[in-house]
Structure 1
Amino acid sequence: MSHPPVAPMPAPRVLTRTLSMELLTADVTVSVETTVTYTSRDPHALSVVFHLLGDAPVLWRLDREMILAGSLAATGEGEVHLRPGAHGKLLLRLGPAGHSATVRCDQDALARFVRDTFALVPQGTEERHIDWQPLLASLRP
């Protein structure tokens, strides 16, 4: 059985930025360097790696549209919640209830990064950047 031709996928594109964020605790605020990465092969999400002193890096994956929505109003469910903070900051609550961490970042810096991802992969074109072949191959008998 022949399969219809598949349109060629665009070449993968990657954006990476280092951003300084702050881990907020009841007693102290700790600066944390983060690396934010976007790849067009996973077009809906950003990877945020928190580089903690003496500990292994911590990786969170965040929906790029959710970040923009969280800049305007509180949003999120499950282990990821975002909301605008005072003085141009964005607050991210990451983790399950009772065991979460709150991180504060510059809202404009993160929003600029997200806008750059939309320049690489415009909204509505994400499916053209996903390599569906491994999934399709796994479904074939």
Structure 2
Amino acid sequence: MSTVIEQAVQARLVASDPRMETVAATLRYDREDPFAVSMAFPPRATLEGVEVSWAFARELLAEGVEGPAGVGDVRLRPYGYDRTVVEFHAPEGVAMVHVRTSELRSFLEASQHLVPSGREHQYVDWDGDLAQILEEHP
């Protein structure tokens, strides 16, 4: 059984231009990092012209499809019938995308099959992580 789930989603970039551009983004969940998900954007969708990936809590994603969630760099909230707004806050500004809520729910459901909510701690390699920290900071 694979320990990684990747799902392509259509993200509509929200900009001051009334036309919203749609880009393919990728949601990723890895059982080896059970508390986190990531959302990657292709180079053409970023200011830097390189792929950009944002990592945030899986719990934040689950909360954000139900109601407003997040106070930090990543914030989510439902929008309309079947959209979720995902905001990415950085020193350069705020990027907002609309994603179909059904796609986010499908991704969350698949991640639950790998690691059920509330059991993430059972998949963390505590000894390996501690050894890595001690190697980096002798």
TM-score by length of 1: 0.83
1:72 paired residue number: 66
Contact 2:65 2:104 in 1 (8 A): no
Alignment partners' CA distance in 2, 1:109 and 1:24: 18
**Deviation sequence 1:54-79 (CA, Å, 0-9, x none):** 82111011211111211121110111
For 2:31, the aligned partner's letter is S
TM-score by length of 2: 0.84
Alignment partners' CA distance in 1, 2:130 and 2:83: 42
How far has the Cα of 1:85 moved from its partner? 0.4
Alignment partners' CA distance in 1, 2:28 and 2:16: 29
Contact 1:67 1:111 in 2 (8 A): no
For 1:14, the aligned partner's letter is V
Structure 1, unaligned stretches of length 5 or more? 1-10
Provide runs of 4+ in structure 1 moved above 4 Å: 138-141
Within 5 Å, which residues of 2 pair with 1:1-141? 13-27=3-17, 28-53=19-44, 55-96=49-90, 99-137=93-131, 138-139=133-134
Contact 1:84 1:90 in 2 (8 A): yes
What secondary structure, in the 3-state scheme, does the structure 2 residue paired with 1:95 have?
strand
Q: Percent identity?
A: 28
Q: What is the root-mean-square deviation in Å for CA atoms of aligned residues?
A: 2.2
Give the greater-gyration-radius structure (CA): 1
